[in-house]
A and B are shown apart, each in its own frame.
Chain A
Amino acid sequence: MIERVQDVIIETACRFLVPFIQLFALYVVAHGHYSPGGGFQGGCILGASFILICVAYDIEETKRRMTENLNTFYCSLGVIIFAGVGLVCVALGGNYLDYGVLHKIFPVDPAGARSLGILIIEIGVGFTVMAVMISIFLNVASKGKHEDELK
């Protein structure tokens, strides 16, 4: 169990850091087209920001910000986004995960539609990786009994 240690310096520093970490994570996901990065890396950083909250505060605070139901929802949402884009491509007359046909519903040319498709799946990957990171950390850190932390 992670006991909450009331340390003003640690809690203030982490509260100050977390928004910047999350902003950087979104940057890594969105900028994966132009620099090293993408869904896996960005999702990991996003998950790490919640783990930092868990380390600096406690599990209760983490679950107040990211409830277990929401986390489980994000966990599957990423895979659904990824597989859903593939099915949308099939519905538009292309092959599975052939993003070129997305230009029929988005105002871009076929090559731009591929770039857009990559961005959408990276966002999906980011959701899943973030949620799985948080879920595994909470379960391992609390031996799977983290609902007792919520009064």
Chain B
Amino acid sequence: MKLLGMMIVLIVGALLMYASEDMPGWGDPAAPASMHVSPRYIEMSEAETTVPNMVTAVLGDYRGYDTLGETAVIFTAGVCCVLLLRRYRK
């Protein structure tokens, strides 16, 4: 069973390494993210949200779902910590 798990891990790792060859280079200006998404945020975020801080605009508005998920993750972490550690006096 351990051998099987090890083999799965190695195969998946090799596949991921192989797939990462096709990813655009780090900070490549011709990457799709740099071509469409980033210029749009840089040019339009202040006009669309009146927020000078681009990071806040992206975090709170454009990526609102992401931040909602992060908040839910923190909430879940707190609840799990209470569930695991809390000992009520009988």
Give the B-binding residues of A (Cβ under 8 A).
32-36, 38-40, 72, 75-76, 78-79, 82-83, 86, 96-97, 99, 111-112, 114-115, 117-118, 121-122, 124-125, 128-129, 131-132, 135-136, 139-140, 143-145, 147-148
A125-B67, A144-B87, A147-B89 are known contacts. Are A136 and B78 too (CB-CB below 8 A)? yes
Please give 4 more A-B residue pairs, beta carbons under 8 A apart, in addition to A32-B56, A33-B53: A36-B53, A75-B75, A118-B56, A144-B86
Most chain B beta-carbon contacts within 10 A, residue among A79, A96, A118, A145: A118
Residue count of chain B within 8 Å CB distance of chain A: 32
Give the A-binding residues of B (Cβ under 8 A).
47-53, 55-57, 59-61, 64-65, 67-68, 70-72, 74-75, 77-79, 81-82, 85-89
Interface of A is mostly: helix
Contact B71 A124 (CB under 8 A): yes
Query: How far apart are the CA atoms of A33 and B85 in the complex, in Å?
Result: 37
Give the shortest distance, in Å, between B80 (CB) and chain A (any CB): 10
Closest to A137 in B: B81
B87 surroundings in chain A (CB, below 8 A)? 143-145
Closest to B49 in A: A114
